[in-house]
Structure 1
């Protein structure tokens, strides 16, 4: 899922090299501040996808391992595709203890297809970065006949709407009026549902199961500002504008909250099975 919502697909206009380098400057902040995926949802995804302990998973765009390590802890073999070199360095450190994790520094589009080799393909807040012309077809091809696509989504942790309107919106209106600093949970739910619909509309998958949790977290104010720095709308900003915006947000939050702030985010799973009818049609046509 994009940093604000899946409906904003401007990132699809970036070429593969630009996508690969996009997060390079904020890799450490990303690793430190992006929320992990709830173990409850991960185990539920494993249950829906009927993954045995010897299952082999392909992960697309694993970043620093915010989902990878949880699946590795459960004993699965993972082949992890990550295009960003800085992310890969951190990912290797985070996964050093897991012998069954293999990391490949490339894009999914450029990765050499291993046909019908994986029990599941996992993408954790990353599938939107893959070209739609490639993503569904190549994912289906790399899955075994009875394989599953597992999508996990974390929306950016944010303060309550009351806090946003009272403290932060005036700052955004002054220093970054084009940035939407708050989005309602219902908006995120609608956008994530839209991503699930695209999976089914591709014709490559069926029997979509969707579940979600609303998670509450407490961040240090400075870590919350660092979290914002990992979101694409802020990465794309002029550095001076970003610095001014963050300085004012930090001051306002420190004055009102002190050192910490309570945030919430939506965490969701979408699991779909490889479409048997599509597979059968393909064989007839061959």
Structure 2
């Protein structure tokens, strides 16, 4: 599966993947009333991009990560937080503990799960009145837009599956349809926070980011190297070796209803 490719690039993933904007973290903390008394479940934490700022609130946190290499780096990054437990498991098969959580959160990983099963399993892990939080990350129009327009020629050449004339979407076009949350029997009071951040990369830093994406990791080696060389040439010859990328984040939260469910 494509989601399994991340573990083979754990060090690069830890180094290159963007952290989440502070306003998003603060909004999540406010919604879930995070503090030492709260029990938090994080699903697919990667190397701790969101886990570290959540742990800073002093909560007891269990992080369930599929990849052992990613989990090892998460433990390293969270070494200063003794109340964090990083477990290696497939969340869809993980045994949900008897003591319920106050918050279940997943960041930039929800798309890897079957929505119906995911919502049922997270509901089974939460107390009534607890919160589910889903963080999304989208790559949208903005930043060094001329580079992102031009780079499509690199993708069309080296990745035949690239649709001709593909362009970066706008924030409006990428906004998540929340009906699957609103229609769930397990959750109510769905809210959405949205915000963007722009990050400027050198050529090497940008290519590092590219090499953390599952589709790029799954390419055959000649095609991947051809694509990277094409992107490098474009950045160095047309953009002075620097590019600014715009990320659009959403924080979707919902409250666990009082309904019972096993999530099996």
Q: Same fold (TM over 0.5)?
A: yes
Q: Which residue of 2 aligns with 1:251?
A: 233
Q: Which residue of 2 aligns with 1:183?
A: 168
Contact 2:65 2:89 in 1 (8 A): yes
CA RMSD between the two structures:
2.0
Q: Which residue of 2 aligns with 1:225?
A: 207
Whether 1:269 aligns to 2:255 is no
Rounded to whole Å, the distance in 2 between the matches of 1:199 and 1:56 is 22
Structure 2 gap segments, 5+ residues each: none
Q: Which residue of 2 aligns with 1:32?
A: 15
| SS of the residue 1:23 aligns to | helix
For normalisation by structure 2, the TM-score amounts to 0.90
**Change in 2 beyond 3 A, CA 1:188/1:242:** farther
**Change in 2 beyond 3 A, CA 1:124/1:188:** farther
Contact 1:72 1:78 in 2 (8 A): yes
Question: In the comparison of the two structures, how many residue pairs are matched?
Answer: 258
**Change in 2 beyond 3 A, CA 1:225/1:157:** farther
Contact 1:116 1:145 in 2 (8 A): no
Whether 1:161 aligns to 2:161 is no
Rounded to whole Å, the distance in 2 between the matches of 1:70 and 1:100 is 13
1:223-269 Cα offsets, whole Å, 9 max, x none, are 11111111122122112101101111111101122232111110110
1:37-67 Cα offsets, whole Å, 9 max, x none, are 1111111112122334321100000001010
The correspondence of residues 34-183 of structure 1 with structure 2, limited to 5 A, is 34-115=17-98, 117-156=100-139, 159-165=143-149, 167-179=150-162, 182-183=167-168
Specify which structure has the higher proportion of helix: 1
Instruction: Please report how far the alpha carbon of residue 182 of structure 1 lies from its aligned counterpart in structure 2 after TM superposition.
Output: 4.4
Rounded to whole Å, the distance in 1 between the matches of 2:188 and 2:37 is 24
